[in-house]
A and B are shown apart, each in its own frame.
Chain A
C-alpha cells in the first residue's frame, strides 16, 4: 500500500458522460493487479472529506487508468480536473481477480460502470484464455463497450442487442459454451451480482461446473481494513462479516452472501 500524489496526464470522455483519467504513478502501476482498487482524495479540503474508491481500469507503463461517471460531489470534482493537476492516491488496495486458475473460457459480465476493471483484466489475460463479454445497461447510451473483446450486448429497453438484462443474456447463451471449462468474472450493481450468484448456484446444482468471481462495492471510509465500515456477509459463518475493502472487493461467489 502506497500513498502518492499523481498527476492527471490524460483525460478522455470515452462516451457521453463516461470519463477515463490517466494518472501517473509508477510505484502503484508496477504493483497493482486487475480487480484491485485505489482510494482517491479528490481535493485537499474537508469536503468531500473521505477518499473515493475506484477500480483500476487499465495500466499502461507508469500510468494508471480509472473510469468513472459523475455521481456526486467527489466525482464532479474529479471530472473537473485539468491535465497537470494532481490527486492523492492510496493503493493498491484489496484482492484482485485470480486469473491463473484452471479454465479455458473467461466470461465477462458487466453492468453499467461495472465495465471499469475489464480492460486491465483483458490485458493481463494476454490472449492466454478465450474471452467472451456480456455487457448490459438500461439503454444503449449506458452500455460501456470500451475495449471488451467478443462483445454481446443486453439493454433493458431493447435499444441495442438482447432486450433484457445481462444475466438473462448470459443464461441464454451459455449452452453454446458448456463444452469448455468456464470462469465467470462479474462486476456491476448489487442487484446484478445477486442474480449472477443465484444463476451460478443453479448451474452448479445442475452439474455445470462454473467458477465465478464477483467484484463488489460498498460505502467505505479507509479502504484498508481499519474502519470496519464495509461489511459483507460471510456465507460460511453466519456470525461473521468479511470486509469489502480488505477481504474483497473481488470474492469467489461461494464465499459471500449477496
Chain B
C-alpha cells in the first residue's frame, strides 16, 4: 500500500484520485454531502450552468428502461447569478476540486459564462457540455457539428487559463474526430460520453413516455458504448480522456482506465447509491495493491489486443 498514488494531473487540475461525480447527478453537492465526505472524491462536476436560470422540461422527465434510464430534465438549473451567490460559497467549505460544467445556446453564451467564473479560485476547471441545442442554427446540437465544437473550444480556450474539458456527445459517427479538434483548439481533456438519445412510447395511449419525446439514455446499459468510445479516442488522439457512462462498481472503473481513461465520472449510480463513489475508491485501491500497481499511468490504456502483444 505504501507507495500507492492514485493522483493525476489534467492540465493544471490536480486530482487526488480519479473518481469524479458527473454533472447533473450531484446537483451542486448539497444533498450528496449528507451521505459522503465530499473531500474524499477526486472532484465534483456541478450541474450544467447556463447564463440565465432554466426552468427545464415539463413532467414526465424520467423513464426507466432495462438497465438504464431516459432523462429529459431540459438543463433545469439556477443560472449563473445564483450559482455564484449561493452554490459556490457552499462548495468552498470543501477541500475538493470543483469542475464547473457549462451549457449554452449560443457560442457567445459559453464564453460569457466562462469569463464570469474565471476569477473564482474554487473552480479549478471547466467542462463544456456541447450536447445543447444551438438556437442560432435551428436547434441542432453543437455536439453533432464538428465545426461548432472546434469553434467553442477555440473561443473558450481564449477566455480561460483553467483546465478546459470538452464533454463529447456519443451521438456522432466518429467520436475521435471530435476529440482531435478539441485537442487542436486547446482543450486539456475530453469527457466521454454524455447520454445517448433515446425514446419510449406507451403502447396503450400511444403517447411518448417523456414530455420532451426524446431523452438521454444513461446507466449500465450504455457502458459498452462508453468503453468503445474511450478506446476509439485513446487509439487515435493523444489527449487525456475522462470516462463516463454506466459505471456501477470498481471493476467498471478499472475497465475504463484500461481502455484509455485517465479519470472517470460516476453518474446514474449516485441516484441509486449516493455513497457508491467512496466504496468504489476502496475497491480500486485494493485492485492496485493486489496487482502491484502504484499509479494510474501504469494501467491507463494498457489493453492488450493480440496474443503476446
Residues of A within 8 A of B (CB): 1, 3, 41, 46-51, 218-222, 224-232, 239-241, 246
B-chain residues with CB within 8 Å of residue A232 when the two chains form the complex: 59
Cβ of A49 and Cβ of B68 under 8 Å apart? Answer: yes
B30-61 interface code vs A (CB 8 A; 1 in, 0 out)? 11101100000000000100000101111111
Query: A226-B26, A226-B32, A231-B58 given as contacts; is B66 within 8 A of A47 (CB)?
Result: yes
Cβ of B64 and Cβ of A48 under 8 Å apart? Answer: yes
B-chain residues with CB within 8 Å of residue A221 when the two chains form the complex: 62, 69, 71, 268, 271
Task: Determine how close the nearest CB of chain B comes to the CB of A48; give it in whole angstroms.
Answer: 6
Task: Determine how close the nearest CB of chain A comes to the CB of B170; give it in whole angstroms.
Answer: 19
Cβ of A227 and Cβ of B62 under 8 Å apart? Answer: yes
**Considering only CB atoms, which chain A residue lies closest to B30 in the complex?**
A225
Cβ of B69 and Cβ of A230 under 8 Å apart? Answer: no
8 A-B pairs with least C-beta separation: A229-B62, A222-B271, A46-B67, A221-B271, A226-B27, A225-B31, A219-B62, A228-B73
A-chain residues with CB within 8 Å of residue B25 when the two chains form the complex: 226-227
- Judge whether B272 is part of the interface by a CB distance below 8 angstroms: yes
Cβ of B272 and Cβ of A50 under 8 Å apart? Answer: yes
Interface residue count for B (Cβ, 8 Å)? 38
Query: How far does the alpha carbon of A4 sit from the alpha carbon of B128 in the complex, in Å?
Result: 37
Pick from A46, A49, A224, A229: contact of B73, CB under 8 Å = A229
Cβ of A226 and Cβ of B31 under 8 Å apart? Answer: yes
Cβ of B59 and Cβ of A231 under 8 Å apart? Answer: yes
Task: Determine how close the nearest CB of chain A comes to the CB of B138; give it in whole angstroms.
Answer: 25
Task: Determine how close the nearest CB of chain A comes to the CB of B87; give it in whole angstroms.
Answer: 13
Query: How far does the alpha carbon of A48 sit from the alpha carbon of B67 in the complex, in Å?
Result: 7
Query: How far does the alpha carbon of A3 sit from the alpha carbon of B278 in the complex, in Å?
Result: 14
Query: How far does the alpha carbon of A51 sit from the alpha carbon of B69 in the complex, in Å?
Result: 12
- Judge whether B94 is part of the interface by a CB distance below 8 angstroms: no
Residues of B within 8 A of A (CB): 24-27, 30-32, 34-35, 47, 53, 55-64, 66-69, 71, 73, 76, 219-220, 248, 268, 270-275
Query: How far does the alpha carbon of A51 sit from the alpha carbon of B248 in the complex, in Å?
Result: 15
Query: A49-B219, A227-B62, A239-B55 given as contacts; is B67 within 8 A of A1 (CB)?
Result: no
Query: A48-B64, A49-B64, A50-B272 given as contacts; is B71 within 8 A of A227 (CB)?
Result: yes
B-chain residues with CB within 8 Å of residue A46 when the two chains form the complex: 66-67, 219-220, 248
A-chain residues with CB within 8 Å of residue B268 when the two chains form the complex: 49, 221
Cβ of B59 and Cβ of A230 under 8 Å apart? Answer: yes
B-chain residues with CB within 8 Å of residue A230 when the two chains form the complex: 59, 61-62
Query: How far does the alpha carbon of A81 sit from the alpha carbon of B110 in the complex, in Å?
Result: 51
Task: Determine how close the nearest CB of chain A comes to the CB of B293; give it in whole angstroms.
Answer: 28
Interchain Cβ contacts under 8 Å between A and B, 10 examples: A46-B67, A46-B248, A47-B66, A51-B271, A220-B62, A221-B62, A221-B271, A228-B27, A229-B62, A239-B55
Which of B47, B56, B59, B271 has the largest number of chain A CB atoms within 10 A?
B271
Task: Determine how close the nearest CB of chain B comes to the CB of A156; give it in whole angstroms.
Answer: 20
Query: How far does the alpha carbon of A230 sit from the alpha carbon of B220 in the complex, in Å?
Result: 22
**Considering only CB atoms, which chain A residue lies closest to B58 in the complex?**
A231
**Considering only CB atoms, which chain A residue lies closest to B47 in the complex?**
A228
B-chain residues with CB within 8 Å of residue A1 when the two chains form the complex: 34-35
**Considering only CB atoms, which chain A residue lies closest to B55 in the complex?**
A239
Query: How far does the alpha carbon of A228 sit from the alpha carbon of B55 in the complex, in Å?
Result: 11
A-chain residues with CB within 8 Å of residue B271 when the two chains form the complex: 50-51, 221-222, 226-227
Query: How far does the alpha carbon of A225 sit from the alpha carbon of B274 in the complex, in Å?
Result: 12
**Considering only CB atoms, which chain B residue lies closest to A220 in the complex?**
B62
Cβ of B55 and Cβ of A240 under 8 Å apart? Answer: yes
Query: How far does the alpha carbon of A232 sit from the alpha carbon of B61 in the complex, in Å?
Result: 11
**Considering only CB atoms, which chain B residue lies closest to A244 in the complex?**
B59
Cβ of B60 and Cβ of A219 under 8 Å apart? Answer: yes
Cβ of B76 and Cβ of A228 under 8 Å apart? Answer: yes
Query: How far does the alpha carbon of A51 sit from the alpha carbon of B62 in the complex, in Å?
Result: 13
Task: Determine how close the nearest CB of chain B comes to the CB of A213; give it in whole angstroms.
Answer: 20
Query: How far does the alpha carbon of A224 sit from the alpha carbon of B53 in the complex, in Å?
Result: 21
B-chain residues with CB within 8 Å of residue A218 when the two chains form the complex: 59-60
Cβ of A47 and Cβ of B67 under 8 Å apart? Answer: yes
B-chain residues with CB within 8 Å of residue A220 when the two chains form the complex: 62
Cβ of B69 and Cβ of A50 under 8 Å apart? Answer: yes
**Considering only CB atoms, which chain B residue lies closest to A239 in the complex?**
B55
Cβ of B69 and Cβ of A49 under 8 Å apart? Answer: yes
Task: Determine how close the nearest CB of chain A comes to the CB of B308; give it in whole angstroms.
Answer: 35
B-chain residues with CB within 8 Å of residue A224 when the two chains form the complex: 31, 274
Task: Determine how close the nearest CB of chain A comes to the CB of B115; give it in whole angstroms.
Answer: 25
Cβ of A231 and Cβ of B56 under 8 Å apart? Answer: yes
Task: Determine how close the nearest CB of chain A comes to the CB of B248; give it in whole angstroms.
Answer: 7
Task: Determine how close the nearest CB of chain B comes to the CB of A100; give it in whole angstroms.
Answer: 25
**Considering only CB atoms, which chain A residue lies closest to B67 in the complex?**
A46
Query: A49-B220, A240-B55 given as contacts; is B67 within 8 A of A222 (CB)?
Result: no
A-chain residues with CB within 8 Å of residue B220 when the two chains form the complex: 46, 49
Query: How far does the alpha carbon of A229 sit from the alpha carbon of B73 in the complex, in Å?
Result: 6
Query: How far does the alpha carbon of A121 sit from the alpha carbon of B47 in the complex, in Å?
Result: 37
Task: With A1-B35, A221-B71 given, name 16 new contacts (CB 8 A).
Answer: A41-B272, A46-B66, A49-B64, A49-B272, A50-B271, A219-B61, A219-B62, A221-B62, A222-B274, A226-B271, A228-B76, A231-B56, A231-B76, A239-B53, A239-B55, A241-B55
